[in-house]
Each structure stands twice: as structure tokens, then as C-alpha cells.
Chains A and B, each alone.
Chain A
């Protein structure tokens, strides 16, 4: 399978990449590992004139501890994250998420964390071949006004299936986006738009530089459901973070529950999260209740698309959240 033609440019440093993005904007796409981008190009979903490769930008590949933060360069490979003891210890959900991405050969070595959280939303219709899509009116994501995933829907129902995004959002991470002359930091909570067409708030001249995870002394976990043990995207996933109170180790002071692969973006579930505050770490029924609240809340945002039926995926939100909470609680208690 061949790629459409493009011009390849390999900036030698970060500034050079920003310059190129500033000049080419929408005509350019940034290539890191290529495991998402090149597939989209082969399917005719993208036809960039310019490919800006991050190959030479080794400075974007790092995992480091800086005060009470973990900082991860956007070009860090999935394999490096899996191998990091720091991540395993302080951001276990991210470790668990990365471990489940794709298969070793491609995703882990070539795939990058930046590419993973910036992967486009998927859809049973939109991700078909160009020929398939050419046979009909364009869908919302293709610039049209129809949704083939769900009849008569007035908006795009594509789904965010990024494992990394769900885990990082649960960890309360933020990201640094840079464009020529300026940079901004945005919480992942606010980065994902819940718009299937433009799933994240990023300008075409911006480059993802860094992901920052606060070290809060809590424990996190990530669970996902897929039919197979490898290759698959999740059909539903959950990332959770639990922190014990300083005064009582058995009491939950802070909780974050995020579900993924169910909606247009990973969803932070505020109600279910706050329900857990003040609950005990060994209160399984509270976890069950939080999981059920999660399901109720997530169902509002759920889209009927990838992999399985909406009913099943919604039902599994509860199970994944419950499993993740139990695991995080056990780790906390140890």
C-alpha cells in the first residue's frame, strides 16, 4: 500500500519545527511514530502537502521528575514509558494504559505518547477506505452534514479510543502546546473538546511539547475492555486516581474517575469522583456505587460506534471503573 505524495522535511531542532508549522499551517502534518498518521494517509483521510518529521528532535524524548511533577516529552516512545520505574510507581494508570496499546512491533517502539493522545477519533464509517467513503455524501467529519454511525444525528459520533488520554486525564495531567513565539499549558480536561470532528483544542501551527503529571501521592489504575489481548483498541476503558487523606490513611481525600472509548472524548466524571470523597478505601460497596454513577453519567455522552453495542459498552463502564477502583485501592493499602 502506497502513501500519497508529500514533501518530507526534517527540522533539526524544536524552533525549526515551529517555524515550519508557522509557515505551512494546515498544509503540514507532524510525524512522530507514524502509526496513526501514516495509516490515516494511506486511507486517504489526510493528504498533507508537507510532513514535518520529529525524527531529529531527540530533545522531545524524556521522562523526568521535576519537583512534584513527572514531565514526559511528547516524542517519548510507548516502550520507554512502559520501561520507566518512575511512571510505574507514580503514574501506574499510564503504565497500564501504554502496556495495552497495540502490539510491540509497531506501537511500542515507533508509537509515541504524543501521538497516542493526539490520535484522531475513530468511527466505523469514517475509518473505511477512501473508496467506501467516496460512494456517499460526506459525513460530519469529512466536511458534510450526515452521520453514518447513527442515523439522523446532527453531530459527529466518532469516538476517542486513546488509552493514554484516558489514563493521563485521570492523573490530572496537563500538556504544553507551543507555537512560534508563545506557549500555553492546558489541562487535559479542557483539551478534549467532545467534538468528534475536531477532537482537541489545538491549532494547526501548534506543537505538543510536553505532558506533565502532578505527583500527588495517590494511586492510579487503568482498565480496558477489548476482545483480544493485543492489536485492539479498547471498546471501553476507565482510568482512576485515588488519594488518601493525610490524617486518615483509610479515607479517600481525592478521587478522579475518567472513562474512555465511550464518547467523543475521555470523560471526567465529577459526580462519581466526588461521591468517593470521604469514603473508606475498603468500602467495596462505595466503589460499586461510584461505578454505577459513572455508568449513568457516562451514558449521557456515550456514542454508538466502534466495536460493540452502546448498551454493552455502557454496562461495561461500570465494570471497568469498579475494577480500576478496586485495584487502585488495593495498591494504596499495600
Chain B
């Protein structure tokens, strides 16, 4: 079965014919070529596929594509400004060593964005809590947490 859905993707109105069994990560990666959203496990255990749907960070591997009908979806591709300038959260991850192999980074950054959009003044425990579903094997989280700490209070919005 296929259904035509409409949703907002990174600010653009999108209309797409999706199959019932597609996950959102499948739609983004395999069908639309938005490879920035990674898939590290497919079972909602690693968070590499985190995107923001209606302001909430969710795992796109456990979200049916058909269910984003009428919703606002943000992916890593939508963070940088149209002129190409990195979002402050992206800048902070770059500057503070929050990125090594980079596979967890898009998901990690999306989780951070969802947090800071809602709670720009998040404390250290709140940051740890918000990133608990995003696994990183390279950094030991230290510089990731520093990256989020460094950008809070300035980073919810694009400059």
C-alpha cells in the first residue's frame, strides 16, 4: 500500500508517496537521499537516527513515515542556514571536539537542538538526560557535553 502524505521537512512543504511499512529513516535516507540521518541499530537503541518531529527528538527508525503526515520534521540537513553557515550547536560541536568519527553526530546534534529549543538554560544533568538515548563510542561523551554546555543560552535558534 502506498499513500500520499504531506509534511514540512526542514521548512519546505513536501508531498511524497510513501509505503505503509517505511520508517521515517528509510524515507529520509533511502528514498529522499538525506543521508545525514544515520541508522546505527534500527531498534531505537543508539539514537543515530534522531530527528525532530513537532519539536520533539524522536528515533526515526521507529517512526512510520506515513505518520509524519501533517507534521513538522527537522533533520540535520536543515540546521545550517541557507547561506551555509553552521547552526551554533553544530559550530560548538566542531569547536569543542564533540565530533570524532561523526556517525553519532547528526543524532547527537538533533537531540541537543530539541533540548535547547525547549530549555535554552538546561543544566548539566538535564543535558546528560537529554542525550542518554544517543550512544557515542569515540568521545566518552565528555567533549559532547562540553559542546552543549558551551552553546546553551545562545543556541536554540539560527543566528
Contact = CB atoms under 8 A, between A and B. Distances in A.
In the complex they form, whether A and B have CB atoms below 8 Å apart is answered with: yes
Interface residues of A, number: 31
Contacts, number: 88
Contact of A34 (B26, B57, B64): B64
A325 to B, nearest CB: 26
A4 B21 CA distance: 7
Contacts of A103: 47, 132-134
Contacts of A5: 19-21
A34 B133 contact: no
A4 B26 CA distance: 13
Contact of A35 (B3, B47, B50, B62): B62
Given A39-B43, A110-B63, A105 B57 contact: yes
Contact of A38 (B47, B56, B62, B133): B62
B11 to A, nearest CB: 21
A104 B130 contact: yes
Contacts of B62: 34-35, 38-39, 106, 110
B142 interface: no
Interface string A92-133: 000000000011111101100000000000000000000000
Contacts of A53: 64, 67
A31 B62 CA distance: 11
A227 interface: no
Contacts of B105: none
A105 B20 contact: no
A142 B103 CA distance: 36
B44 interface: yes
A311 interface: no
Interface string A1-44: 11111111010000000000000000000010011001100110
Contacts of A43: 43
A270 to B, nearest CB: 36
B111 interface: yes
Contact of B132 (A7, A55, A104): A104
A8 B64 contact: yes
Interface centre among B3, B26, B58, B111 (most CB of A within 10 A): B58
Contacts of B57: 104-105, 109
B23 A105 contact: no
Interface centre among A8, A43, A55 (most CB of B within 10 A): A8
B47 A110 contact: no
Contacts of B61: 1
Given A109-B56, A109-B57, A7 B43 contact: no
Interface centre among A5, A31, A34, A51 (most CB of B within 10 A): A34
B104 interface: no
A110 B42 contact: no
Given A104-B132, A231-B45, A231-B132, A2 B21 contact: yes
Nearest to A110: B58
A116 to B, nearest CB: 14
Contact of A104 (B3, B20, B64, B129): B129
A42 B42 contact: yes
Interface string B118-159: 000000000001101110000000000000000000000000
A313 B3 CA distance: 48
A1 B22 CA distance: 10
Interface of A: 1-8, 10, 31, 34-35, 38-39, 42-43, 51, 53, 55, 79, 102-107, 109-110, 229-231
20 contacts: A1-B61, A2-B23, A3-B22, A5-B20, A8-B3, A34-B62, A38-B44, A38-B62, A38-B64, A39-B44, A42-B43, A102-B133, A103-B47, A104-B133, A105-B134, A106-B47, A106-B133, A109-B56, A109-B58, A229-B132
Given A10-B66, A231-B133, 17 more contacts: A3-B23, A4-B21, A5-B19, A8-B20, A8-B21, A8-B64, A38-B64, A39-B62, A43-B43, A51-B64, A53-B64, A55-B67, A103-B47, A106-B47, A110-B59, A229-B132, A230-B133
Nearest 6 pairs of A and B residues by beta carbon = A1-B42, A103-B133, A230-B132, A105-B133, A8-B20, A109-B56
